[in-house]
Structure 1
Amino acid sequence: MTQVEIGRGKSGRRAYSLDEIGIVPSRRTRDPEEVSIAWQIDAYRFELPMVVSPMDSVVSPKTAIEVGRLGGLAVLDLEGLWTRYEDPEPLLAEVAELEGEAATRRLQQIYSAPISDELIGRRIEEIRAGGVTTAVRLSPQRTIQHHKAVIDAGVDIFVIRGTTVSAEHVSGRAEPLNLKQFIYELDVPVIVGGCATYTAALHLMRTGAAGVLVGFGGGAGHTTRTVLGVAVPMATAISDVAAARRDYMDESGGRYVHVIADGSMGTSGDIAKAIACGADAVMVGSPLARAYEAPGHGFHWGSEAQHPELPRGRRVEFERIGTLEEILHGPSSRADGSMNLMGALKRTMATAGYSDIKEFQRVEVVVAPQQR
């Protein structure tokens, strides 16, 4: 473990981003058609190791159904516009016409409307009616208030996601969410995060979570590093949390907790490297914000962008390049890693000689900063 002296009174560990590592092919190669990228969490199997971020610019009930049909899992944000308004489409179109700070101010205004438990139930029922696995997200602050509406509606997977989620939140103002007790009392698998260190991940795993999110999410438009100074490069964060998963398996007598890389993955190469570092699946938003079907109309933002007091994200504009199916499965006419994400992952695994996700997590990687 390399410690770098920052000054006489402070040193820090050298950490690596996904841009700074490369995947090393092994002595054999495989046919991409013989590679499986399927993964399973609890009783739910998915043909793609792809979880779409709970962002209004990417996930609506309609796109959640489409992503499920294509083999992935999309998470609906229950603190977004779909649970505040009967029809948020006109508001999404309005925001797409605004620029810069005007868009941020308008986002803050429209997200100030109250969340409706009745709409929570209705949106979950819409996705369930599409015949796909239903996953929804609440922040730790809102979970106690709204979780009953979520469970009553029959959700399959519950995601508790914030910029940083800990198993030991301390508050003198309100009773904090007891994650261990909460997860124990639920009958559905729970995914929690984000976290970025070995210790934080180990504590989250001990709560009984089925999966842990690694990272701070919202990579493309995230300004958490600028606003809060908080940052942990993803290659190191994923590797540390994967080590926690291994040690927790020994500690618990074999219980496996899934590691899901969340954020800072804009291309197919980033996705492959995240899995090479130990992730079982990836949570992405910006690659699918480029889809024609994305509700953001070519714009992308996360829940941090509309915070009423301290926004930690910006709205980002993307070129719309293809359908959801083309972005996930191709075909692609672009050489920048923005389309056929899952086909590219299969080809990477085949080139390195691995047949499935668990095997591919053992692939050799090198430190190789990308040349710009």
Structure 2
Amino acid sequence: MSFEVEIGLGKRGRTAYSLDDVAVVPTRRTRDPKDVSLAWKIDAFEFESPVIGAPMDSIMSPETAILLGKLGGLGVLDLEGLWTRYENPEPVLEEIAALEAADFSPANTLRLQQLYNAPIQAELISARLEQIREAGVVVAGSLSPQHTQQFYQTVLEAGVDIFVIRGTTVSAEHVSQNQEPLNLKQFIYELDVPVIVGGVAGYTPALHLMRTGAAGVLVGFGGGASGTTHRSLGIHVPMATAISDIAEARRDYMDESGGRYVHVIADGATGTSGDIVKALAMGADAVMLGAALARASEAPGKGWHWGPEARHPELPRGNRVNVGTVGSMEEVLWGPGHHTDGTSNLMGALRRSMATTGYSDLKKFQSVDVMVTP
């Protein structure tokens, strides 16, 4: 069966669906929500929920990474962010929060670029990761492909448990005539820690990333609510289709590799509990949350949210957006919820949705029936 449509006489394209276009369908069986497990495991690390805090300065500081870890998730610190450029980034965060409340503001973007022009300090990478380790939670840090070669040894020496390589789009085969590209397969092979890498949004590039030895792949282009990649570059793959395609790549890779399982992690377009439910239903093992966690009262962005794309020195592809504050991080994740729009008690909503559709664990929930509702 082909899902291609004719755009014009000279071009055909696939029909694709966003998470808004699909809905989970209840089955004949329901369960008690208390009987539902949200546990997720990657490599040797186990978590109470399938939640990863996105490496964005508006969400993850060493303190919020620790808090998320104690609440059963995984916090990933941006090792190219303010916490590794400034000894005390609090005044910088205050300044960013106080910028004019305007969308697509050139002045705001210029100021972000200036603030992030401060050099990354290797000693601060070590100090921030050590702070997280001392708290007794899983330590995870993120670098872009461009800075991985320069700083990964510092990251490993600091004792990171999970290493994340995150960019707008990451391929297993980057071609450059100007500099020696990162050999992802060799790099991952030589590391002693599990690596999560992405973003990626198609079957073939995801399969290639899985063959590098990655423990997990990030589906999507990051940014989510704050990203403007579609507007800037014309690149966009609706998340429901992207997750489903890459879940299929995971299954084919398991057959190819003799059973090696690579985790599929939805990164972007999961701003509410309903989005999280549908991302997992489409085949994701976990979700990397941005705006959803930026709404926590402890978030460094103070109700504002922006990603690495917003500060790019030459071609910024992100915006600083106001997401507001809905409650503490514990209330955002585990409740009690006081909002009816899917922004609080995210895990309570996921557990109830799984119970309503008759599933007791995340892996089985991936087989839930869905309908297309464009």
The answer to whether TM tops 0.5 is yes
| Residue of structure 1 in register with 2:173 after alignment | 168
Aligned to 1:3: 4
Q: How many angstroms does 1:241 deviate by?
A: 0.2
Cα deviation 1:263-296 (Å, max 9, x = unaligned)? 0111100000000000000001101111110001
Query: Hey, what's the Cα distance between the residues in 2 that align with 1:269 and 1:318?
Result: 17
1:289 and 1:104 map into 2 onto residues whose CA distance is 19
Aligned to 2:132: 127
Partner of 2:250 in structure 1? Answer: 245
1:333 Cα shift? 1.5
In the TM superposition, residue 102 of structure 1 has moved relative to its aligned partner by 2.3
> Aligned ranges for residues 134-153 of structure 1 at < 5 Å?
134-153=139-158
In structure 2, distance between residues paired with 1:228 and 1:22: 29
Q: What is the total number of aligned residue pairs between the two structures?
A: 369
Query: Match for residue 91 of structure 2?
Result: 90
Q: What is aligned with 1:201?
A: 206
1:264 equivalent to 2:264? Answer no
Amino acid at match of 2:245: D
Specify the SS of the correspondent of 2:218.
Answer: strand
The offset of 1:187, in angstroms, is 0.3
What is the distance in 2 between the residues matched to 1:270 and 1:208?
Answer: 29
- Is 1:336 matched up with 2:336? no
The residue identity in structure 2 corresponding to 1:74 is: G
2: distance between equivalents of 1:124 and 1:339? 29
1:1-372 pair list within 5 angstroms: 1-99=2-100, 100-369=105-374
- 2:230 is paired with a residue of what secondary structure? helix
The 2-side partners of 1:355 and 1:252 are apart by 28
Shift in Å at residue 6 of structure 1?
0.5
Amino acid at match of 2:222: G
**CA–CA distance in 2 between the matches of 1:161 and 1:155?**
16
> Structure 1 residue 109: deviation in Å?
0.2
Offset at residue 103 of structure 1 (A): 2.0
Measure how far apart 1:77 and its partner are: 0.2
1:166, 1:319 → 2: CA distance? 34
**Deviation of the 1:250 alpha carbon:** 0.2
Q: Which runs of 5+ in 2 are unaligned?
A: none
**Structure-2 separation of matches of 1:95 and 1:274:** 31
Deviations 1:187-220 (A, max 9, x none): 0000000000000000000000000000001110
Q: Which letter does structure 2 place at the counterpart of 1:21?
A: V
Shift of 1:299: 0.6
Instruction: Measure how far apart 1:101 and its partner are.
Output: 2.8
Query: Aligned letter for 1:107?
Result: L
Aligned-residue Cα RMSD (Å) equals: 0.6
CA offset digits 1:130-169 (Å, max 9, x no partner): 1100100000110000000000000000000000000000
Q: TM-score, normalised by structure 1?
A: 0.99
Secondary structure of the residue that 1:93 maps to in structure 2? Answer: helix
Which amino acid in 1 is paired with 2:216? Answer: G
SS of residue in 2 equivalent to 1:220: helix
Work out the CA distance in 1 between the residues paired with 2:60 and 2:320. 15
Structure 1 residue 368, shift from structure 2 partner = 1.1
Partner letter of residue 82 of structure 2?
L
Aligned amino acid, residue 303 of structure 2? G
